[in-house]
Amino acid sequence: MQKITISGFCAAALFTAAAHAETVFVSLEKDNAIAVVDPVDAKLLKTLPVGQRPRGIALSPDGKTLFVATSDDDTIRMFDAETLKETGKLPSGEDPETFALSPDGKLMYVSNEDDSEVTVIDIAAQKAVAKIKVGVEPEGIAVSPDNRWAISASETTNMLHWIDTKTRQIVENTLVDPRPRAASFTADSQQLWATSEMAGTVMVLDSASKQIVQTIKLEVQGVTGDLIQPVGVAIDKDRRYAYVAMGPANRVAVINAQTYQVEKYLLVGQRVWNLAFSPDQSRLYTTNGISNDISIIDLAEHKVTKSLAVGRYPWGVAVKP
Amino acid sequence: MRVLHYWRAMAGIVGRELLRFLHQRERFVSALVRPLVWLFVFAAGFRAALGIAISPPYETYILYEVYITPGLLGMILLFNGMQSSLSMVYDREMGSMRMLMVCPLPRWFLLCSKLIAGTAVGVLQCYAFLGIAWLYDIQAPLPGYAWILPALVLGGMMLGALGLLLSSFIKQLENFAGVMNFVIFPLFFMSTALYPLWKIKESSVILYTLAQYNPFSQAVELIRFALYEQFNQQALIFTGAAFLAFMGAAIVGYNPSKGMMVKKGGGG
């Protein structure tokens, strides 16, 4: 009886917490855990051990399953996004770092850096259904919202590989600036934005021609060029602004996605790598690897409102509405 | 009737100070140029110096320019306080002090009026500085600009009282260089205006202790917290206590029968 009351009370508490805010999940590479954060109250709710060296993290489109790539366990783990209980493992191949989900949430595309492959996994069957050979050291991966293209960025070959999701064949390779790290489609799937870690640039590609239409050079006054290593990129749904995490430059670039001008550089924690929007796109969350925190950016004013310590080496971030 | 007397005296003193301030446009410009040079030139060189830690009232990483702004407000108030002390010595040399002192109102009231006058000028300078800093993209939350007013007033009164106290010691205008070397510089550099306490502690514990108990630090922290809509009780108590102490000493110092005036041969 007492148990029921307590669990009822907990459920009520959970419900009220869920009612007013989204939940942010951050993978902590060094703590072998994920941090669960209430971003509205800017509070670390709890830290949960998940496996060795968690990096890539994403939520299924229905918001029910949380996927975490535990790189040193050579697997991608699935968790119930409410209870955070482990529900399964996916055969990702060796050392999975980043992955992307198809818009319907049925398939997962995983970069296998050491094997120069992209593994396609059927999530429901928990089985690898295809392996696609790509360039050397594939890292960044993205699926277009219209489910037409899967993009793999190979860091050493300096190419973006356009994989047709139906035939699972590479249709085109686009040579880009050195060490492409991350890629992200606009909501209308018309453009692909990719970052080059070594050139310090952001490239905008046209999905139809698969060619670069714009290259944006990131430069911060007083910060030496070698520190400008753009990684994560996120574009808002109306394609008004694109945000780029600039790694050891400790800043997020705010780029006008219509004029391709950098409007602002926002100071965040050290070695900022990945980004995620809040569901209403009023906030942006950044993971700052070396300073062990996440920064919360108000997008209406383009101001960093808070940096919150979450644990050692925050790597990826996913947001549950 | 008596209240009216008091009011008229205060209005006269404050009015004179404000008028003097408005007429001396160079003084206004120079009062602004000093902190602006610090902001645009000095702080620019240290832009990323603080990129490693977050200390309250800040909630995220800030550029050095943002950190130094409340310290420069303190600098404005400090120089302004000392400037009014300078003008007191000037008044004494010119004889207008005698006019003031023969006024049939209590001396403490006259000194307080003088102080309010000086502080009003300082607060105006501070807001002008904040306006320019806003254009330079140093922007605090809007309510902070209202919260900061009482903090600026108290900080300005405290530093002004220190100036008054000093002016009771200074015999001649030429001694102002001494004030610069022995009061302004140590107060300013041994404070949290330029570096946060944790940064000072890294280099020297003695400096850290001195900076912590430096009344100027406390005034700066009071302003800093107020600008970010936060209340720093310790800084408020410390600044308030320092004000009462300096003011009390200044009133004694200006008492012709007891204070420094006697030693100076009734220079007033």
A151 and A131 in contact (C-beta within 8 Å)? no
The CA distance from B159 to A102, in Å, is: 65
Q: Which residues in chain A are contacts of B52 at CB distance < 8 A?
A: 270, 291
**How many A×B Cβ pairs under 8 Å?**
32
Would the CB atoms of B61 and A307 count as touching at under 8 Å? yes
The CA distance from A57 to A34, in Å, is: 9
The CA distance from A187 to A205, in Å, is: 14
The 10 Å Cβ neighbour count of residue B264 is: 15
The CA distance from A300 to A304, in Å, is: 11
Would the CB atoms of A291 and B52 count as touching at under 8 Å? yes
Is any Cβ of chain B less than 8 angstroms from the Cβ of A269? yes
Q: Where are the alpha helices (DSSP H) in chain B?
A: 2-23, 25-37, 43-45, 64-94, 96-101, 107-135, 142-169, 176-179, 185-189, 197-203, 205-213, 215-227, 233-253, 260-263
Question: First and final CA of chain B: distance in angstroms?
Answer: 28
A86 and A78 in contact (C-beta within 8 Å)? yes
The 10 Å Cβ neighbour count of residue A126 is: 13
Residue at A147: amino acid letter: N
Specify the pTM.
Answer: 0.82
Q: Which of A222, A223, A269 sits opposite B61 (nearest CB)?
A: A269
Tens-digit pLDDT profile for chain B (268 aa)? Answer: 578 888 888 888 888 888 887 788 787 888 889 899 888 888 877 765 555 567 888 888 888 888 899 999 999 999 888 887 777 777 777 777 777 777 788 888 888 888 898 899 899 999 999 999 999 888 889 999 999 999 999 999 999 999 888 888 777 666 777 777 888 888 999 999 888 888 888 888 888 999 989 999 999 999 999 999 999 999 999 999 999 999 999 888 887 666 555 555 544 3
Buried b (16+ CB within 10 A) or exposed e, B83-112: bbbbbbbebbeeeebeebeebeeebebbbb
HSE of A208, CA atoms in CB hemisphere, 13 A: 2
Beta bridge partners of A196: A180, A201
Structure tokens given for B110: 């006259």
A294 CB-near residues (< 8 Å, 6+ apart): A24, A26, A37, A269, A285, A286, A287, A288, A307, A308, A310, A314, A317
DSSP letter at B38? I
SS3 A28: strand
Would the CB atoms of B51 and A223 count as touching at under 8 Å? no
The 10 Å Cβ neighbour count of residue A119 is: 23
DSSP letter at B259? S
Would the CB atoms of B59 and A267 count as touching at under 8 Å? no
Structure tokens given for B199: 């940064």
Given a cut of 50, is residue A305 above it in pLDDT?
Answer: yes
Model ipTM value: 0.73
The CA distance from A318 to A76, in Å, is: 15
Residue at B56: amino acid letter: P
Predicted confidence at residue B53, as pLDDT, reads 67
Residue of A224, A267, A290 for testing the chain B interface, max B β-carbons within 10 Å: A267
